[in-house]
Structure 1
Amino acid sequence: MLVLVGGVASTLPAALATPSAANIDAVTAAKIDELLALRAATPDARSKGELVELLSRQFLGTPYGADMLVGSAAQPEQLVIDFRRVDCFTYLDYVEALSRSTDRDQFVANLIETRYAGGRVDFLQRKHFFTDWAHTARVAATDVTSAVSSDAVTVTKHLNAKADGGNHLPGLPVVDRDITYIPSAAVNDTVLGALRTGDYIGAYTDLPGLDVTHVGIVVTTPAGPLFRNASSLATDNKVVDSPLADYVRSVPGIVVLRAK
């Protein structure tokens, strides 16, 4: 997903950003340590999806913040680590990195690998699109959309190419990619039942040059699956759980990635 960003960040040049040198505010540092302690106390038998659910649950109520990252083709990329506010994609970045970490330095290193291709803090290396998680090293998830539904549709998208011939993000190349999604009308009880806790969901868009417009996490419950997400809606403006079936009806379709 496209993420244009702004927020608290490291003051180091991108090329010098390292785990030990990351600039982290006191609130975020305390929260990282709290969540890593929670992860350390989690039984080894817990699945990756259950771990994602446990860690993502700790962010419920966290205020939404738009455009949380800093960097462009003309502005040096900065390493942003700020748990005080999250947008929909930085939320997933943090949860995924936490799920693979045992200490703060390891978390920062895993965050860099999750957010940037090749683990290099650079605007051109940032994974700007949701499906980059399944296509760009370090691969964080597997695209299981077609396995979840036989009604899945595949279209070729020219990511970053606007309809008027310009680019959503100047300075980035256009990437041709086959995007598979499940149309909303085909998301029935069978499809919802095939989703797993911890799956990452993207809201597919018909807009040229984009794959999804919003992302979140599936949480299965006896009452039906929830969509855990950093919501920018005026009625929410924070990380919330909402019925996934209701959300799906408001978008053209969904892309499903399963954490590795």
Structure 2
Amino acid sequence: MLPTPDTSHVAYERIYEPAEDSFLLLDTLSSSSETTFLQNRFGDGYVPLVVEIGPGSGVVIAFVNAQAQVLFGSRNVLTTAIDVNGYACKATSETARIAASENATTHGRYLGAFQGDLVTPLKDRLVDVLIFNPPYVPTPELPKQPGQTDISQLDTKPTFGDDSYMLSLSYAGGKDGMETTNKLINSLPQVLSSRGCAYILLCAQNKPEEVKQRIRAFGEGWNVETVGSSGKKAGWERLQIIRIWVG
């Protein structure tokens, strides 16, 4: 079993703590079926760019970067992350740094974490692997998006209200828990490269079968399938990872 990156430095009062969804992503990405898919997809000396949207503590993108050789069959992998929470950006970079130092012979090249709303900082058709553990809990409304923060000047002692607000960004998904996820999915034709694929986490309340039908309706060549699951409860998969790809 590959080691889980250390996140003991993360301030969980304002950043999402790794939980079942995070670990399901790690297990899925390192499964034999997905490492085979990734290595076949990005072999022949190709250097993929892996982007995690909403990394929180950074445990997932740090894992991907630290285990690049294992997942992709090569260390020539570029990784980065984007989060609306400036504290999460700072924590992610530290998580990635520690994980890389502990996996010196297998890590790729981490480019840093950037504050932004979903894929807005990205150029078109640039992303080869997109990873998204979204705010998927159904809520009456979405929290207001934060303004841009100078990460180097972050206050180390925000108020309780600040902490609660920052955490809400990580779980509040609006109607059906899908408002943010729908925005991300709709951007995939613009964001993914010609070899691109995306791994997105859904819960049962997100109506995953409807989500998959909508993705297939993008047009010829668009594919989606469930590649990871946390198991079933009352006949429903509690959490699942879907892989979306073209070709």
TM above 0.5, yes or no, is no
Q: Tell me the TM-score normalised to structure 1 length.
A: 0.28
Q: TM-score, normalized by length of structure 2?
A: 0.29
Higher helix fraction (1 or 2): 2
